[in-house]
Structure 1
Amino acid sequence: MNYTKLVFATSALALSVSSAQAAPSINWYGFVDIGLEKYTETGVNGGSDIFQGADTPNGNSNEKQLALSNNVQSRIGLKGEEALEDGWKGSYRMEFRANVLDDGGQALRTRLGWLAVSKGEHSFKVGAQWSPLFGYSAWNTHRSESHGYGSYYYTTDQLLGSQAYGYRNDSVISYTYGSGPYTASPFTTTVALHVADDDRGSDAGLSTVASPP
């Protein structure tokens, strides 16, 4: 009887440890960026914003209102990974821009949403993800947040089918060798195919974009 109880307890413990190891990781993250700003109707440009941000109200009165403080929109995200068979690893990420000032139907907007599998130096990713153009060449994009876009901001504004000025693309299938941009890999490259009803072409390495007709 004692032997049977010991075997049962050992089996239950092993099952518990195995289940814990097999469970996918879940990590929530995000931040809220909000502050107090005061606008004057007699200021520059008749009281309108000098640099109108994505969520910054324009043409305000002299009353104090809640507004974004530095143009980095609030966001909330969920990401994780899970070990699969034969050395493969599955991972996922969902990230939303949260407009805490919006009282309409656009409070949440998708920034990233992808599923990926990887093994060793090889990884495959499907969904809304960072563009190779951003990953490998946008070195100056966020130097000072909303005012640090420089020429990159205006160049990528012309890329059809892009979200947020070419930083992220919807409906993308990508393959990356190595750890990706800005990592310790001695050699890394990304090839991506953007699937949509527009004039986008395939992206490779530093990203090549088909010109509109």
Structure 2
Amino acid sequence: MATRTTLKATAVTSMSALALAALTTTAQADDDRVEVYGMVDVGLETYSADDEAAGFIFPGFNSAGGNNDAKDFALANGVSSRIGVRGGEDLTPNLRASYNIELGIDILNETGGATGAGSTGTRLGWAGLGGDWGEVRVGTDWMALYEFGGWNTHRTDMHGYGSYYYTTGVLRDSAQFGFRQGSTVSYQYGSAWGHSDPFAFNITAGIGEGEDNEEGISSLQAAAQYSFNDAISVNAVVYQEFVDGPADDDEATLYNVGARWNVTPALELAANYTVVTDFSDAVADSGTDGSDERDSIALAAMYDFGQGWDGHLGVSQASADDIADIDYNVYGFVRHSFTNRTNARLEFEHIDYDGDANDATETVGMVALQHNF
């Protein structure tokens, strides 16, 4: 009981201190432009799968007792409710200091969810210096791999990433699954979210990740995007791991290329291809062709129906030397935004696997409510 009370008190104290610090800073300096923001998201989810399914759908994430094929349904907070503080200060006419601290919060279980990992956790946490020349950041941040790659075709909040996980799941440490990465130093010019910047570029170094890794720079990624007429963007990402230590020395290499096209103001089409190699010496040594490789290709459409309704539909395939192929992965959502802060959505994903011994499928559906502040 004492441990449970301590966890609750720690979480409440942390949130209170975070909000109080932000409000105090706002009162002290108007030019700091401090923003306290957050999101609450919860869904009701149903999941079914064959026993042989490879498991690239993750049901019941951040739920009280998880979710599986045996359960009728469960609540899920997989997109992670959160609270954050961000802001900055102009140091000179062309030099600005900025920061972002964002904590994910498990709203469904006061003891930290099915994994017991704790009620709060760092999603973002970085400090930066920037200007017209770009921005340098240090800390935990979004990976260029997602901003310049995965976001092309994967826009769902929670489910719809099976083929993306298929390739990025073999990466090491915090880079695994390709969303955010900790312990990084990065430089970025422009933004790849949308088409607004004609050119965007990012280079990121992962620093000292992995207890068994003696390399100072544990990974490097470089990404670039070029946009035409605020309507078409083409992009590419290269990611390389560096490992030197007493354990395994697998050094994955990943390449990603993609494109997006706003056919009309309401319709956007996109494509994305990812291939990762050299992630496992054991696979390479046992493979019939002496290689270890996974790749995936995805096509997607995003459509604004008007009156607060929008939708997303994607289809992908993936193959590998070490696990069952994905014959097809269909995913998407239909969403209604009541206001610019509150929406409800229906998400779905289905994967059909093709293995040497047997085939398998897994399917998930979820209705969810989200409120942003």
Please classify the TM superposition score into its range, dividing by the shorter chain length.
0.7 to 0.9
1:110 aligns with 2:122: yes
Higher strand content, 1 or 2: 2
* CA offsets 1:117-136 (integer angstroms, 9 cap, x no match): 11103211110001111111
**Does 1 or 2 have the higher relative contact order (CA < 8 Å, sep 6+)?**
2
The count of aligned residue pairs is: 186
Q: Which residue of 2 aligns with 1:167?
A: 179
Cα shift readout 1:158-193 (whole Å, capped 9, x = no counterpart): 11022561211111000112x221352211210111
- Does the Cα contact within 8 Å between 1:141 and 1:153 map onto a contact in 2? no
2:191 maps to 180
RMSD: 3.2
What is aligned with 2:140? 128
Write the distance in 1 (CA, Å) between the matches of 2:46 and 2:164.
30
Structure 1 residue 96: deviation in Å? Answer: 1.1
Shift of 1:20: 4.7
The partner residue of 2:84 within 77, 89, 111 is: 77
Percent identical: 33
Q: Unpaired runs of 5+ in structure 2? A: 1-27, 51-56, 113-117, 224-236, 243-249, 252-373
Q: Contact 1:93 / 1:112 at 8 angstroms: preserved in 2?
A: yes
TM-score (norm 1): 0.73
Counterpart of 1:26, as a letter, is V
Instruction: Specify the alignment match of 2:96 in structure 1.
Output: 89
Aligned position for 2:170: 158
- Cα distance change on mapping 1:193 and 1:109 into 2, 3 Å: same
Q: Structure 2 length as normaliser, TM-score?
A: 0.44
Aligned with 1:84: secondary structure?
strand
2:39 aligns with: 31
Deviation at 1:64, TM superposition (A): 9.0
Greater Rg over alpha carbons, structure: 1
Q: Secondary structure at the match of 1:208?
A: strand
Q: Secondary structure at the match of 1:180?
A: coil
The verdict on how the C-alpha distance between 1:132 and 1:59 changes in structure 2, with shifts beyond 3 A counting, is closer
Assess, with a 3 A threshold, how the Cα gap between structure 1 residues 44 and 188 changes in structure 2: closer, same or farther: closer
Q: 1:122 to 1:61 in 2, by over 3 A?
A: closer
* Cα pair distance change 1:191/1:33, threshold 3 Å: same
The aligned amino acid for 1:96 is: L
The superposition leaves residues 3-50 of structure 1 with CA deviations (integer Å, 9 ceiling, x where unpaired) of xxxxxxxxxxxxxxxx755x41211111212356799xxx988xxxx8
In the alignment, structure 1 segments of 5+ residues that lack a partner are 1-18
